[in-house]
Amino acid sequence: MSYPDPTYFGDTGEVSGAFRPAGAEIDLRFAAGGGASYLATGAATDGRFGLYRWDMPATPTGPGPHFHRTISESFFVLSGTVRLYDGDAWRDADAGDFLYVPPGGIHAFRNESGEPASMLLLFAPGAPREGYFEGIRELASMTEDEKADFYLRHDNIWVEG
């Protein structure tokens, strides 16, 4: 393992950081509660990664078992208890717990604790997950064919688990 090829060739560095204060408005709200904050999108990181804060309400919510062909996904629990599926077993994860899933790895998450929970989701490379997050609010109005196309476009392959 070595460092990647350079992408910055200057001699003095540059002012290019992007700060987001803790109190910034949430980017996407869900009707059932909770939502997503787009901390660092793939577009903002030149496709290197995407980082999102996922806030879940106290009511059960979260996707079933699935995998991605093109991206890895990592989960870091910030608060509450989140059920994480690592392809083998469901595990109750608390603040500070972490799960990494490489491309092809079956995974899922749910908040079944009865209390709000929050976690960070990291995708690498930085796929345009915002379109997926925003589109899941429209699933109820989609036909089965539209859902299948939506999932295919966003690299979500559902499996039994």
Q: What percent of the chain has pLDDT over 90?
A: 96
Structural domains in the chain, sorted by start: 28-158 (2.60.120.10)
Residue 32's pLDDT band, with cuts at 50, 70 and 90, is confident
pLDDT of 42-57, one tens digit each?
999 999 999 999 999 9
**What's the average model confidence in pLDDT over 15-39?**
95
Tens of pLDDT, residue by residue over 68-122, are 999 999 999 999 999 999 999 999 999 999 999 999 999 999 999 999 999 999 9
pLDDT-based confidence at residue 144 (cuts at 50, 70, 90)? very high
- Which of the two residues, 143 and 160, has the higher pLDDT score? 143
pLDDT value for 160: 85
Across 117-139, average pLDDT: 95
- Residue 161 pLDDT exceeds 80: no
Task: Answer whether 28's CB lies under 8 Å from 133's CB.
Answer: yes
- Are 54 and 118 contacting, i.e. CB atoms less than 8 angstroms apart? yes
Q: Return contacts of 80-84, CB within 8 angstroms, 24+ apart.
A: 80/56, 80/111, 80/113, 80/115, 80/116, 80/117, 80/118, 81/111, 81/113, 81/115, 81/117, 82/56, 82/109, 82/110, 82/111, 82/113, 82/117, 82/119, 83/109, 83/110, 83/111, 83/112, 84/108, 84/109
Mean model confidence pLDDT for the chain: 96
